[in-house]
Amino acid sequence: MSTQITGIGVGHGIAVGPALRMPDPIGEPPDVESQLEALDEYARVEEALTAVTDELVDLGRRAGGDAEGILEAQSLMAQDPAVVDDIRQRVGDGKTAERSVYEAYEGYARVLEGLGDNPAARGADVRDVARRVIARLRGVALPAVPQSETPFVLVAYDLAPADTATLDLSKVLALVTRDGSNASHTAILARNKNIVAIVGAAGSDVIVNGQTVIVDAESGQVVTDPDLAALAVAAERGGRVIAPRPLTPGALSDGTPVPLLANVGSPEEAAPAVALGAEGVGLFRTEFLYLDARSAPSVELQRSRYRDLMSAFAGRKVVVRVLDAGADKQLAFLGHTHEENPALGRRGIRALREHEDVLRDQLTALVGAQSDTGAELWVMAPMVADVDETAYFVSLARSLGLGTVGVTVEVPAAAVLADQVVPLCDFVSIGTNDLTQYTLAADRMLGLVAQYQDPWHPAVLRLIKLIGDAGHASHTPVGVCGEAASDPLMAIVLVGLGAEDLSMSPGAIGDVRAALAGVTLARARELAERTLTQTSAAAARAVVAEALA
């Protein structure tokens, strides 16, 4: 008999196939007294925490893209000083390593869940770290995604970021999870990978292996044992929806163009971005060439790798951000040493300015790659704070032969001084991730302040408006290259605040294109104005969602 299960759809796709269930997660360790000395028990914890940290970092590097940042952030949870101290104290009280890890991370997860939707979504990441550490302590393997010779729908209580990031997309037709929200990392990565998914499907426990299911993300419905009529409708919609949407240029309903670009981190990500409808590259992160190097790469090597990327976008816009080292990306050849607060230290243009030879080589390589490919190259500097840094970079880049030079605005000082900074550039791009971090004084890598990591906050939106207004006044193009552009509702607001193009994870382009096509520029501006008068991120988001419901 057919049944319907309701959850939260991710995207607009539909898929049909047999279900395979993920094995149940590792259970709660018993609360028993340890038979070891506290020092020996804690030594086991230290080894397990280090191993899990290294494992998550390695998985992130192999997955690349947005998954790398998510998994690196999760790896930091395995070394969070407050949680580690909590574990040490519990071990000192006589608890086993397994129980101490479980209780400490469970407490951390519950704190996050008490702070609202976005932090609550991170609770799943915290619990996944605990499960990995406990599995290491027990010497057992974690439950893994089932293997199958034929495509299937994966059903699980929830998926860890590492599981979602490493899925075999040739086999997994869709995801259904009992837990999770639209803000969970499962949802974010599913959206980025263009996977049909439904999260928070509380009734999905009844789905059994081999059962045929329809997963309709647009309606948020999972249909088990569908009849022939339902299968026929799904097949018809599948041909229309799962296939890539028409790759028309991004635009509003009144015809205002809004180019939709891709954020990429290596040349290998270019072809998939084109397939998903990217009209160009709005952020090419060049750090991949530097992170594992003992010295700066040669001009010839850089030129070759930049050429690989630009060849996929010949004749189209490619925005390259020069090396953004520092913070979580420390490089010895840039003189990086230990800093108490590296996010506020020698990163971005500050480090490059002190090592101008590295910057000159990179800019020279970019000029060469442009001449090799005919791409429309735009180059920008990271972490610029004021007029002096802007003028320095723009002057140097132009002197080396670059024609379109700009900066990323992600430091609040540059936003406040937008009327001075923006006119010096050929374009500016707003980095919403760091702009949010610095505006709300909340380290984006620290889960305990995750509730502040929300670009919908009116303080962030007001800064974006300052930048948009400065661009309009000086006729300087303004774009957005932060994760906020991947949110279809936020995309409308960003355009209303003055953004003329949006760059995002390639998997989000289809949904953003559809959202923008439903509003005029006047409507986008009206909605943006409403957000500026709200008192919280939740209120700003709600006022737009309600207006467009």
**Which one-letter amino acid corresponds to residue 427?**
F
Q: Quick check: 383 and 434 in contact, CB under 8 A?
A: yes
Please tell me the predicted confidence (pLDDT) of residue 238.
Answer: 62
> Is 3-24+145-241 CATH 3.40.50.20?
no
**Which one-letter amino acid corresponds to residue 359?**
L
Please tell me which residue in 185, 336, 425, 457 is annotated as part of the active site: 185
Give how far Cα 460 sits from Cα of 260, 414, 525, Å: 22, 13, 16
Cα–Cα dist 49/293, whole Å: 26
H or E stretch including 415? helix 412-416
Q: Quick check: 17 and 153 in contact, CB under 8 A?
A: yes
DSSP 8-state assignment for residue 115: T
Closest to 397 (Cα-Cα) out of 367, 357, 417, 437 = 367
Residue with tokens 């080396």: 400
What is the sign of the dihedral through the CA atoms of 45, 51, 57 and 63? Answer: negative
Dihedrals φ, ψ of 407, to 5°?
-140, 155
- Please confirm, yes or no, whether 475 is among the known catalytic residues: no
Task: Kindly calculate the radius of gyration of the chain based on its CA atoms and give it in whole angstroms.
Answer: 24
Cα–Cα dist 375/137, whole Å: 52
Please tell me the predicted confidence (pLDDT) of residue 374.
Answer: 82
Q: Quick check: 261 and 281 in contact, CB under 8 A?
A: yes
Closest to 544 (Cα-Cα) out of 491, 507, 498 = 491
Closest to 151 (Cα-Cα) out of 217, 193, 196 = 196
Cα–Cα dist 341/89, whole Å: 26
Q: Quick check: 148 and 127 in contact, CB under 8 A?
A: no
Cα–Cα dist 290/336, whole Å: 13
Provide the residue ranges of all domains of the chain, joining segments of one domain with +: 3-24+145-241, 38-138, 260-548
Partner residues linked to 172 by β-bridges: 152
- Tens digit of each residue's pLDDT, the chain (549 residues): 778 999 988 877 888 888 888 877 777 888 888 888 889 889 999 999 999 898 888 888 877 766 777 788 788 888 888 889 999 999 999 999 999 999 998 888 888 766 654 554 567 788 888 888 998 898 887 777 887 777 889 998 888 777 877 788 888 889 999 887 776 767 777 877 778 899 889 899 899 888 889 999 888 899 998 887 787 788 777 633 333 345 689 999 999 999 999 998 888 888 778 877 899 999 999 988 877 667 788 999 999 989 988 888 888 899 999 998 765 555 565 665 556 666 787 788 998 998 899 999 999 999 999 999 888 999 999 999 999 999 999 999 999 999 999 999 999 999 999 999 999 999 999 999 899 999 999 876 665 666 778 899 999 999 999 999 999 999 999 999 988 998 999 999 999 999 999 999 887 888 899 999 999 999 999 999 999 999 999 999 999 999 997
Helix ranges, 114-227 (H) = 117-138, 161-165, 185-192
Token readout for 337 is: 């040493």
Q: Which residues of 449-477 are buried (b: 16+ CB within 10 A; e: fewer)?
A: bbbbbbbbbbebbebbbbbbbbbeeeebb
Residue with tokens 């028993």: 32
Residue with tokens 């249909």: 223
CATH of domain 260-548: 3.20.20.60
Q: Quick check: 134 and 87 in contact, CB under 8 A?
A: no
The CATH fold of domain 38-138: Enzyme I; Chain A, domain 2 (1.10.274)
Cα–Cα dist 509/101, whole Å: 40
Cα–Cα dist 488/511, whole Å: 6
- Identify the burial level of 239 via C-beta atoms within 10 angstroms of its C-beta, where 0-12 means exposed, 13-18 middle and 19 or more buried: exposed
Token readout for 50 is: 């280090």
Please tell me the predicted confidence (pLDDT) of residue 69.
Answer: 75
What is the sign of the dihedral through the CA atoms of 41, 123, 218 and 489? Answer: negative
Region of residue 264 (phi > 0: left; psi between -120 and 50: alpha; otherwise: beta): beta
Token readout for 42 is: 């804690």
Token readout for 449 is: 């302040």
Please tell me which residue in 336, 425, 457, 481 is annotated as part of the active site: 481
- Please confirm, yes or no, whether 425 is among the known catalytic residues: no
Residue with tokens 């090799």: 372
Token readout for 354 is: 């002190």
Token readout for 291 is: 């992170």
Please tell me the predicted confidence (pLDDT) of residue 120.
Answer: 47
Cα–Cα dist 131/28, whole Å: 9
Please tell me the predicted confidence (pLDDT) of residue 245.
Answer: 46
| E strand map for 7-81 | 8-10, 14-21
DSSP string, 427-469: EEEE-HHHHHHHHTT--TT-GGGGGG--TTSHHHHHHHHHHHH
Cα–Cα dist 287/321, whole Å: 9
